Amino acid sequence: MDKNFIHVINLTKSFYTQNKKIEVLKNINLQIAKGDIYGIIGFSGAGKSTLVRCINRLETPDSGQILIGGKDITMLSKSELNEERKKIGMIFQTFNLFDSKTVFQNIEYPLKSSHKNKSERKKSVLELIELVGLTEKTYDYPSQLSGGQKQRVGIARALANKPDVLLCDEATSALDPQTTLAILDLLIDIKEKFGITILMISHEVEVIKYACNHVAVIEHGSIKEKGSTLTVLQNPQSDTGKIFTKVEQQLKEEWILKGGVV
Amino acid sequence: MTFYTHSFTEIIKSAFSAETWRLLFPALISTLYMVGIATILTLIVGLILGAILVMTDKDGLTPIPFLNRILGAVINALRSLPSMIMIILTLPLARLITGKGYGANACIIALAISCIPMYARLVENSLLEVDKGKIEAAKSMGIDNFKILFTLILPESLPSIVRSFTVAVIAIISMTALAGSFGAGGIGNIAIQYGFNRFRYDILIATVFVLIIFAQIVQMAGDFGAKLILKKRHLL
C-alpha cells in the first residue's frame, strides 16, 4: 500500500500582471506520508504560500495534479471541493479569526455546515477548546486574546471538522519565540493524538528543525531539494538551504565570539 | 414676520409659540411617515444591491462581471442626478404605482429611488472593508459563498453598515424637505408655504429647528448603535 497520503504531481501556477507572466510554481513534485509533519522552507516570494494554497485550491493551479488520499483535488466540482475542504484544515499567519464571533462561535462556525445538531456541536467545540487550553476564554471575543491564544483558536477552528490534513501558512511567524514553541508543541501533540498530516510552511529554520520530520526547500518556484529534515539541513545542497543554515551558523559564531554560550 | 418688521427675539418667541407648533405638528407626522417608509425601502433594497455589487465583482465570491458592470452603471447614473430632478423624473412612475403624481406616497418613491443607489454604494464599501483573509479562512472550511455572505461578511461589517445607514437616513430627511415643494406635504411644504411665500420667518426657523433635531437624533442613534456593537466585540 502507498504510504504517501498527499501527492503533488507536476504542479505549475503562473500569475499574470498586465502583460507579464510570472511563473510562481514550476513543476512541483511532493509526496507526503500520512501522519507526517512536512515543512516547506524558502525566502519570501519563493512560492511556498502559493503552493500550500493550491492544496485546498484557494489558488487554482494551471496544470498538474494534487492527490489527497487518492482524490484529485484539481478535478473536483465546486460542491465536491467544499466537502473536501472540510477535510483540510488551514491556519494562517494573521489568524483570520472572526471579530464578530466569540471564541466558541469561531470554532463552531465550520461545524454549522455539517450534519451535527446543536448539542453535538457544543460538545465538540468545548472539547476542542479544552484541547487547545482556552477553557477560560470560551466566551471572550478574539480582540481580548493574545497572539498565541488567537492561533490556538485558529487551530481549534481548523480541527473542528476532524480533518485529515492541516495546512499551516506561516502559522508562527507573527508570534514570539516562546509562544512559537508552545504552538509547535500543540501541533505535534495534535499530530500524535489524531494522526493528522501537517504541511507547514515557514521561513524560519528553527521552526522546521523543531517540528518537521521532512522538509522541502523551495527557490524561485521550484523545489531544489527535499528529504528528512536532518539530512537536508545538515548538508544543504541548494543555495537557499545553504543561506538559511549559513546565516544560522554565522549568528551562532558571532554569539560565541562575543563570549556567549550555545 | 421678517427681520425687517420684527425684532429677533419676537421672531424666536413666535417660532416656539403654541400656534406655530399646532401648524407644524401634522406636517411633522407626515414627514416622519415619509422618512420612515423611504428608510425601510432604502435599507432593504440598498443592502441587497450593495451585496450583489460585492458578490458579482470580478474579485468577489461569485464573479459575474457583466451584471456587475450594468448594475454599477445604473447606480452611477441614478446617483449623478440632483434630487430635485430625480423627483420630477419619478413623478410619472409614482402616478403609475400609487395613482397620484403628488402627495406623500408619490414622494416616497422618489425618495427611495434616489437614496437607494447611494446606500447601495455605501453598503458596498462597508462589505469590502472585511479582511480578505477572513473570507479565505471561511472558504478553506468549505463554506459556500452565500453562507459566507450572510454568516460572515454581513456580521463582520455590521458596525460600518449601521454608520452608512445613518448617513442615508439623514440624506432622506433632507430630501423629504425638498420634496415638500412638489406637493408632498410635510415640514418642507410648511417651510416653503409659510417661510418663503408668506415671509413667516418664525415658522421657517421652527422648521429648520425640527430638521436639525431630526438629523441629530438619527446621527446619535446611529453612533450609539455602532459603538454598542464594537464595545460588545471589545473592538473599542
- What average pLDDT does chain B have? 92
CA distance B233 to chain A (A): 6
Q: Which residues of A touch B155 (CB under 8 A)?
A: 98, 100-101
3-class secondary structure per residue, A190-217: HHHHHCCEEEEEECCHHHHHHHCCEEEE
pLDDT average, residue stretch B77-103: 85
A162 contact B CB<8A: no
* Residue A89 to residue B138, Cβ atoms within 8 A: no
Residue A195 class from Cβ within 10 Å (0-12 exposed, 13-18 middle, 19+ buried)? exposed
In a domain, B134, yes or no: yes
Distance, in Å, from the CA atom of A184 to the CA atom of A171, rounded to the nearest integer, reads: 9
Q: How confident is the model at residue A207 (pLDDT cuts 50, 70, 90)?
A: very high
What's the pLDDT at A45?
Answer: 86
A101 contact B CB<8A: yes
Minimal-distance CA residue of chain B relative to A145: B234
Q: Select the residue of A86, A99, A143 nearest B141 (Cβ to Cβ).
A: A86
pLDDT average, residue stretch A140-153: 96
Q: Which residues of A touch B234 (CB under 8 A)?
A: 140-141, 143-144
ipTM, 2 dp = 0.92
A82 contact B CB<8A: yes
pLDDT average, residue stretch A197-206: 93
- Any idea which residue has 486574546 for its cell? A145
In a domain, B228, yes or no: no
On the question of pLDDT at A1 being above 70, the answer is no
pTM for the full predicted model: 0.90
Distance, in Å, from the CA atom of B148 to the CA atom of A97, rounded to the nearest integer, reads: 14
B230 contact A CB<8A: no
Percentage above 90 pLDDT, chain B: 64
Nearest residue to A57 (alpha-carbon basis) of A38, A39, A72, A45: A72
Domain parsing of chain A, residue ranges: 1-87+165-175+197-262
Alpha-carbon Rg for chain B in angstroms: 21
Q: Select the residue of A85, A92, A167 nearest B142 (Cβ to Cβ).
A: A85
What's the pLDDT at A141?
Answer: 97
What's the pLDDT at A187?
Answer: 96
B152 contact A CB<8A: yes
Buried b (16+ CB within 10 A) or exposed e, A83-95: ebbbbbbbbbbbb
On the question of pLDDT at A236 being above 70, the answer is yes
The topology (CATH level 3) of A1-87+165-175+197-262 is: Rossmann fold (3.40.50)
CA distance B160 to chain A (A): 12
| Beta carbons within 10 angstroms of residue A214's beta carbon | 21
Alpha-carbon Rg for chain A in angstroms: 19
Give me the number of domains chain B comprises: 1
What's the pLDDT at A135?
Answer: 95
Phi and psi, residue A11, nearest 5°: -80, 130
Q: Which of A52, A96, A167, A199 would you mutate first to test chain B, the one with the most B CBs within 10 A?
A: A96
Q: How confident is the model at residue A54 (pLDDT cuts 50, 70, 90)?
A: very high
**What is the CATH classification number for the domain harbouring B149?**
1.10.3720.10
Q: Select the residue of A88, A92, A140 nearest B137 (Cβ to Cβ).
A: A92
Q: How confident is the model at residue B97 (pLDDT cuts 50, 70, 90)?
A: confident
CA distance A55 to chain B (A): 10
Q: Select the residue of A92, A157, A167 nearest B133 (Cβ to Cβ).
A: A92
Q: How confident is the model at residue B126 (pLDDT cuts 50, 70, 90)?
A: very high
Phi and psi, residue A216, nearest 5°: -125, 135
**Strands A4-17 and A37-41, sheet pairing:** unpaired
In a domain, B51, yes or no: yes
What's the pLDDT at A2?
Answer: 67
Q: Which DSSP helix (H) or strand (E) runs through B221?
A: helix B201-232
Q: Is residue A142 within 8 Å of residue A162, measured between CB atoms?
A: no
Residue B113 class from Cβ within 10 Å (0-12 exposed, 13-18 middle, 19+ buried)? buried
pLDDT average, residue stretch A235-243: 88
* Residue B142 to residue A101, Cβ atoms within 8 A: no
Q: Is residue A48 within 8 Å of residue A201, measured between CB atoms?
A: yes
* Residue A82 to residue B138, Cβ atoms within 8 A: no
CA distance A46 to chain B (A): 20
In a domain, B140, yes or no: yes
Q: Is residue A46 within 8 Å of residue A221, measured between CB atoms?
A: yes
Q: Which of B131, B134, B141, B146 would you mutate first to test chain A, the one with the most A CBs within 10 A?
A: B141
In a domain, B234, yes or no: no
A121 contact B CB<8A: no
3-state helix, strand, coil in chain B (%, to 5): 80, 0, 20
On the question of pLDDT at A245 being above 90, the answer is no
* Residue B151 to residue A86, Cβ atoms within 8 A: no
CA distance B139 to chain A (A): 8
On the question of pLDDT at B138 being above 80, the answer is yes
Contact pairs from chain A to chain B, CB under 8 Å:
75
Distance, in Å, from the CA atom of B107 to the CA atom of B182, rounded to the nearest integer, reads: 8
On the question of pLDDT at A258 being above 70, the answer is yes
* Structure confidence by residue, pLDDT tens digits, B173-186: 988 888 887 778 88
Q: Which residues of B touch A160 (CB under 8 A)?
A: 141
pLDDT, greater one: A94 or A240: A94
pLDDT average, residue stretch A82-94: 95
pLDDT average, residue stretch A129-154: 96
Domain that residue B95 falls in: 29-192
Q: Which of B127, B135, B140, B152 would you mutate first to test chain A, the one with the most A CBs within 10 A?
A: B140
